[in-house]
Amino acid sequence: MGYKADTSLPVNDAIYDIAIIGGGPTGLFASFYAGMRNMKTLLIEAMPELGGQLTFLYPDKFIYDVPGHPKVLAKHLVENLVAQGLQFRPTVILGERVSNVVKLGEKLFMIETDKGRYYSKTIVICAGIGAISPRRLGIPEVERFEGKGLYYVVTNKWEFKDRRVMIVGGGDTAVDWALNLQNIAKKVTLIHRRGQFRAHEASVIELFHSNVEVMVPYVVKSAQGDSALRKVTVMNLDTNEEEIKEVDALIPCLGFIVDNTVLKKWGLEMEGQSLLVNGRMETNVAGIYGAGDIAHESGSVKLNLICVGFAQAAIAVNVAKNYIDPSSSYFPGHSSERRF
């Protein structure tokens, strides 16, 4: 499996029991369970911080569907997951993207990143939805304002305090940001090309009872400004009439383009952009497992939820433990019985 190794990369000679690729919620919980099973653990995250999408896409948004939390800010959930996931002192590698995986033996893999090489007996891929990049408006006149009023990723909602904000889109991200910013920004306008919204029904109902200006069916046509964005021209798709809106910030929330082609190069079976696993979270390559949004059990219902990722991470790690040591039990024991 895989392809020729880059022999010029620096090598970490340690051999880990388990390497977890992805430092989002699923990867962090997998790190915790690996520690529970006394496994020598390596955690690799491509971004400079842990937390995955919670950190880089919506740190200031509330999450409502994590067990035990009626609601919790994404960044606070990350803080707790990091504290839990790193308590057994795994080796954590940040800012390195895995580019290649080579199987060297029955229970030994070489993992190449853009900066080094690592060795592990097993691998759990917890890469979220994979390598993502925001879907862009594709209007050159608008794109020139990126970094000067055009935002494809929002990490700090307070930078929009007392500003006029326009949000584009009809999915959960667009509606959630509109609701989050309505009491921070001077004014929030949300435009969507259709009358129907893809966002959660309860959020859409809240949107139409909020002070957010909702404009449908509208699209962005152009943008104007000097050193920064000042105005956006929008067009009504029913009438073709155009309107100029004065704005300080434009936030397109049009989804993301996912690229998981690198996984196929490792010899892993895919279904669309998802990594195929069985009920034991095993891929078609013995010793490699998948968990979280990246994984899909063929024939089952796929739910990209944090709680599902947690359960899959626990299964993957405990099965990996038994793969390394067949005499060990799949069941880790109750955490209440363990002295931390």
- The span from the CA of 284 to the CA of 237, in Å, is 48
User: In order of start, what are the domains of the chain with their CATH numbers?
Assistant: 11-132+257-337 (3.50.50.60), 136-254 (3.50.50.60)
Higher pLDDT, 152 or 192: 192
**How crowded is residue 151: how many other Cβ atoms within 10 Å of its Cβ?**
22
pLDDT of 54 over the 90 cut: no
What pLDDT, on the 0 to 100 scale, is given for residue 130?
Answer: 60
What pLDDT, on the 0 to 100 scale, is given for residue 131?
Answer: 57
- The span from the CA of 62 to the CA of 209, in Å, is 19
Q: Which of 230, 246, 1, 253 is nearest to 111 (CA)?
A: 1
- Mean pLDDT over 32-41 rounds to 96
What pLDDT, on the 0 to 100 scale, is given for residue 338?
Answer: 63
The 10s digit of each residue's pLDDT in 245-271 is 999 999 999 987 766 778 888 999 998
Which DSSP category does 136 fall into?
P
The 10s digit of each residue's pLDDT in 114-158 is 899 999 999 999 987 665 668 899 999 999 999 899 998 887 889
- Mean pLDDT over 206-227 rounds to 96
Give how far the C-alpha of residue 102 lies from the chain's centroid of Cα atoms, to the nearest Å: 25
Query: In which residue are the tokens 């029955």 written?
Result: 106
Which secondary structure element, helix H or strand E, spans residue 112, and what is its range? strand 108-113
Burial status of residue 166 (CB atoms within 10 A of its CB: 0-12, 13-18, 19 or more) = buried
**One-letter amino acid of 293:** D
pTM of the model: 0.73
**One-letter amino acid of 152:** Y
The 10s digit of each residue's pLDDT in 90-121 is 999 998 989 999 999 989 999 999 899 999 99
- Mean pLDDT over 207-231 rounds to 96
Query: Are 65 and 176 within 8 A, CB to CB?
Result: no
Q: Which of 278, 284, 280, 283 is nearest to 321 (CA)?
A: 280
| Average pLDDT of the chain to the nearest whole number | 91
243's CB contacts (< 8 A; 6+ apart) are 233, 234, 235, 236
Which 3 state secondary structure label does DSSP give 158?
A: helix
